[in-house]
Structure 1
Amino acid sequence: MDADGIGWHFSGMTPRPSIPVFTLFGETSAFPDVIHCERVLDRARLHDWVISAHRHRQMSQILQIEAGRAEARVDGRVMVLGPGDWLYIPAQAVHGFVFSQGAEGTVLSFLAPITAGMTPQMSPWLARPQTGRLSDRAAGLIEDMRATHASRGTFRTQRLVGLSHVLLATIAEDTLDGAGPAHPAERHMDALDALIARHLAAGWTARDYAAALHVTTGHLNRIVQAAKGCSLTAHLEAALMAEACRLIAFTRMPLAEIGFRLGFKDPSYFSRRFRRSFGEAPATYRQRIQDS
């Protein structure tokens, strides 16, 4: 229980593997679209206004509150959201919600290829939970996304992807305006993610990244563990697989060529690594994204 008596269905002592992995806002069914948009009211009331702690393997989300209140716990940090507030949740972050009865807003869910397709400069921002007040421009973009999601058309998916990139860049700029200097650990994470974006296909090891940042591998591993809740090796693997998702979903390159570009000389080994991360073969993933 929290100090004010709200039950969270969450324990910071629970090992990560025991935390359920959802594909949507409280659901375990297949992700139905390249981007998903739904109302808080429609989903939260089905769960008695409580979404228990969970994480998404390859999906990030934006929660926007229009009316009522939400208490969110993201990787152990508690945040209270009211009308006009938004929360960005990166993939793999453990999170849960308690909504006031009748709360309303929007939940936007983005598959990994959407965020992986943004510029490397966005990577540090996208890697961490973020929150803030919704600007008029960002609110208008969410309205446009809701309307586009409900529409039909030959280029609906392309419009949704474009709007997603503009929305994420807009709220990132809103949070960075006037931000103070970053903590040294945050600066190391920012520099690490920038290096990963530049050298993803070069076969760099954890030792290579540590050397480029002039720290020991153990120290860099501790920084990543504190920031991401996973090892440096796991963080590098996640970045590699996110890029694989982007190339598979948004290019027509043969799967073997994608694997080769990412440093895999053996296509079958690339397929096994991808399946280990996402539970399905690259060809199955591509077909599912195309079908949506």
Structure 2
Amino acid sequence: MDRSRQLWYFSNMGAQNSIPVFALFGETNRFPDVVHCEEFVDRASNHGWRISPHRHADMAQIFMVEHGRVAAQVDRLQATLCDGQFLFIPEQKVHAFDIEPFTQGRVFSLPSAVVKSVGLSGSEFQGLLADVQTGQISKALSQLSDQLASAATKPSRFRAQLSVALAHSVLSLIAEGAAKNGSTVGSPLPDHILALDDLIQTHLCDGWTASDYAEAMSISTGHLSRLCRQATGLGATAYIELATMTEATRLLAFTQMPVAEIGYRLGYEDPSYFARRFKRFQKQTPSAYRSNFVSQSGQV
């Protein structure tokens, strides 16, 4: 990897040994509004046009590039956004950006409640919005986004209601475009698996076992395992470990935390056992996975 790519990678990783969770980037206060809109220059310019790795627990975002270039990394996805392109990022996805100075565009930040209220839980619509989406900004999407920006930033009697309605329209166009472009979703997850997912996000680093999650859901461990298998094809223990290994890939990719410490943080008392389990899921050792990620991180 050449020096410029190294600088991009390590400037985003920094010396951090955790992935920050923000309301808005750099802010730990509660989300400020029903829908938030700001221009790239409003925040990115204050950070040298580089947004270091972070995630949002209860918020999705839409990045819309009018003119310029944005190198984006979202979990394992690497993409370059140019004139007239958008990127939709669901909650919990770790993301970082290298923005060409003075790139013109805007970011919409949407509370999860706004995103989830636009379609039925477990529907194809919500399935599409559970994944990263990118594409060209159509004329209709551009017009709606302009209206949403105006509604979100100008005072009016029913500003909140108008903002949510327009946000739903923008999300509908994104989901419709994704479906037309062949994006596929798996079978909708039932509510009890979605509830389990929420618990896993909360207790991922607490070393909870399947029985702990079952107790929290007031069901037996066997029943939880049957529910998981029916919905995902995996037993409860395997489903929970898959979520744990997904978090391990993020910590390996976006932090400089030692491999052993990642294992400890995710509840593995034996580093060598953590490495074996990781290799079983990812077909690579943790160190090999990290090396591969670093070598490709500049090619966005």
The question of a shared fold, defined as TM-score above 0.5 by the shorter chain, is answered with yes
Structure 1, unpaired ranges of 5+: 231-292
Instruction: Say whether the 8 Å CA contact 1:37–1:149 is kept in structure 2.
Output: yes
Structure 1 residues 212 and 111: CA distance shift in structure 2, 3 A: same
Q: Distance in 2 between matches of 1:229 and 1:198?
A: 18
Structure 1 residues 140 and 3: CA distance shift in structure 2, 3 A: farther
Task: Choose from 203, 223, 231 the match for 1:213.
Answer: 231
Partner of 2:8: 7
* Larger RCO, structures 1/2 (Cα 8 Å, 6+ apart): 2
| Residue pairs, 1:109-120, within 5 angstroms | 109-119=109-119, 120=121
Q: CA deviation at 1:90?
A: 1.0
Does residue 43 of structure 1 match 2:51? no
Q: Distance in 2 between matches of 1:34 and 1:128?
A: 22
Q: Deviations over 1:195-241 (max 9, x none)?
A: 22898699776424324237231454466557x648xxxxxxxxxxx
Structure 1 residues 178 and 92: CA distance shift in structure 2, 3 A: closer
Q: Distance in 1 between matches of 2:95 and 2:68?
A: 19
Q: Distance in 2 between matches of 1:222 and 1:174?
A: 33
Partner of 2:146: 143
3-state DSSP of counterpart to 1:42: helix
Partner of 2:174: 171
Instruction: Say whether the 8 Å CA contact 2:152–2:159 is kept in structure 1.
Output: yes
149-158 or 207-216: which moved more?
207-216
Q: Which TM-score applies when normalising by structure 1?
A: 0.66
Q: Which letter does structure 2 place at the counterpart of 1:71?
A: A
Q: Deviations over 1:173-197 (max 9, x none)?
A: 11210416x4xxx52xxx252x228
Instruction: Say whether the 8 Å CA contact 1:66–1:105 is kept in structure 2.
Output: yes
Structure 1 residues 45 and 200: CA distance shift in structure 2, 3 A: closer
Q: Which letter does structure 2 place at the counterpart of 1:177?
A: K
Partner of 1:93: 93
3-state DSSP of counterpart to 2:108: strand
Q: CA deviation at 1:71?
A: 0.4
Q: Deviations over 1:145-198 (max 9, x none)?
A: 111112222211011111111111111111210416x4xxx52xxx252x2289
Instruction: Say whether the 8 Å CA contact 1:135–1:174 is kept in structure 2.
Output: no
Q: Distance in 2 between matches of 1:58 and 1:178?
A: 27
Structure 1 residues 200 and 214: CA distance shift in structure 2, 3 A: closer
Aligned identity (percent) is 31
Q: Distance in 2 between matches of 1:90 and 1:199?
A: 15
Structure 2, unpaired ranges of 5+: 197-216, 249-300
Partner of 1:245: none
Q: CA deviation at 1:114?
A: 0.6
Q: Distance in 2 between matches of 1:19 and 1:221?
A: 20
Instruction: Say whether the 8 Å CA contact 2:193–2:228 is kept in structure 1.
Output: no
Q: Deviations over 1:65-111 (max 9, x none)?
A: 00110001111321100011111111111111111111110100011
Structure 1 residues 29 and 167: CA distance shift in structure 2, 3 A: same
Q: Which TM-score applies when normalising by structure 2?
A: 0.64
Partner of 2:134: 131
Larger Cα Rg: Structure 1 or Structure 2?
A: 2
Q: Which letter does structure 2 place at the counterpart of 1:153?
A: S
Q: Distance in 1 between matches of 2:38 and 2:167?
A: 15
Structure 1 residues 159 and 106: CA distance shift in structure 2, 3 A: same
Q: CA deviation at 1:29?
A: 3.5
Instruction: Say whether the 8 Å CA contact 1:35–1:110 is kept in structure 2.
Output: yes
Instruction: Say whether the 8 Å CA contact 2:128–2:178 is kept in structure 1.
Output: no
Aligned length: 219
Q: Distance in 1 between matches of 2:27 and 2:176?
A: 31
Instruction: Say whether the 8 Å CA contact 1:54–1:94 is kept in structure 2.
Output: yes
Q: Distance in 2 between matches of 1:221 and 1:192?
A: 18
Instruction: Say whether the 8 Å CA contact 1:58–1:92 is kept in structure 2.
Output: yes
Instruction: Say whether the 8 Å CA contact 2:64–2:105 is kept in structure 1.
Output: yes
